[in-house]
A and B are shown apart, each in its own frame.
Chain A
C-alpha cells in the first residue's frame, strides 16, 4: 500500500538549518509530483513547496522562498526539504503529500520547533 513517512524534525534555534526526509513506498515514486505542506500550532494548512516527478521543476511559497530547498532522489524513493535560516514562524508539523492533481496520500508529519 502507498506509504509516506516523514523524518528529521526536531528542536532548532532560529537561524539554524534542518533537513527533513520523506520516504515513499508502495507506488512508483518517480512518476509523481510530491509536495510539502505544514500546519503551525493553532493555524491551518499552508502549502510549502512542490517538486515535479523528474526533479527539474520546483515551486515554493513566498514565505520560504530563498530559505528552503526541495529535492528528491528517485533511486532512493525519498523526498527532502532543506530548511535554512529557520525562523520561529517556521514552527509547524510538516507533511509530505503525493499529488495526483489533489493530494491523495499524506504522511503523518514530522514536527519542527524553532525556538531559542
Chain B
C-alpha cells in the first residue's frame, strides 16, 4: 500500500503570501493519479487539482498542482483569507485509494 506523507503539518501565512504544500509517496504513483482537496470546517472536501497538475473545474487560478512520480506539490500563489482549511493529497486508483494526513493552512 502506498503511503502519502504531507508536509508541513501546519502552515501559517499572511494573505498575499505564497503557500507551498508537499506530498510524498512511498512508491511511484501510476499515471500520476494524484489529486488535491480542500476541506473547511463543517464542509465536505472540494477537488482542487487532479492528474498531478490539472486544475479542477471551478478551482481558482491561484491553485496549481505539480510534480510526478513520488513528489507532488500544491502551490497557492497568493493566499486569500478564504483559503484557510485542511488540504489533502490523494492517490486515486486504479485499485488503491489513499489520502495523506493533511496540511492545515492558517491565515495570519
Q: Which A residues are closer than 8 A to B by beta carbons?
A: 35, 37, 44-47, 50, 59, 62, 95, 99, 101-104, 106-109
Contacts and interface: CB of A to CB of B under 8 A. Distances in A.
B16 to A, nearest CB: 28
B24 to A, nearest CB: 15
B92 A46 contact: no
B101 interface: yes
Nearest to A107: B44
Nearest to A106: B44
Interface centre among B33, B46, B47 (most CB of A within 10 A): B47
B108 to A, nearest CB: 23
A101 B101 contact: no
Nearest to A57: B95
24 contacts: A37-B99, A44-B86, A44-B88, A44-B101, A45-B37, A45-B90, A45-B99, A47-B90, A47-B98, A47-B99, A50-B97, A101-B33, A101-B35, A101-B51, A101-B92, A101-B93, A102-B33, A102-B35, A102-B50, A102-B90, A106-B45, A106-B46, A108-B43, A108-B44
Contacts of A62: 1
Interface string B87-105: 0101011010111111000
Contacts of B43: 108
A10 B80 CA distance: 37
A50 B93 CA distance: 10
Contacts of A107: 44
Interface in B59-108: 86, 88, 90, 92-93, 95, 97-102
A102 B44 contact: no
B88 A45 contact: yes
A99 B45 contact: no
Contacts of B102: 44-45
Nearest to B31: A101
Chain B CB count within 10 A is highest, among A45, A59, A106, for A45
A45 B86 CA distance: 10
A47 B44 contact: no
Nearest to B50: A102
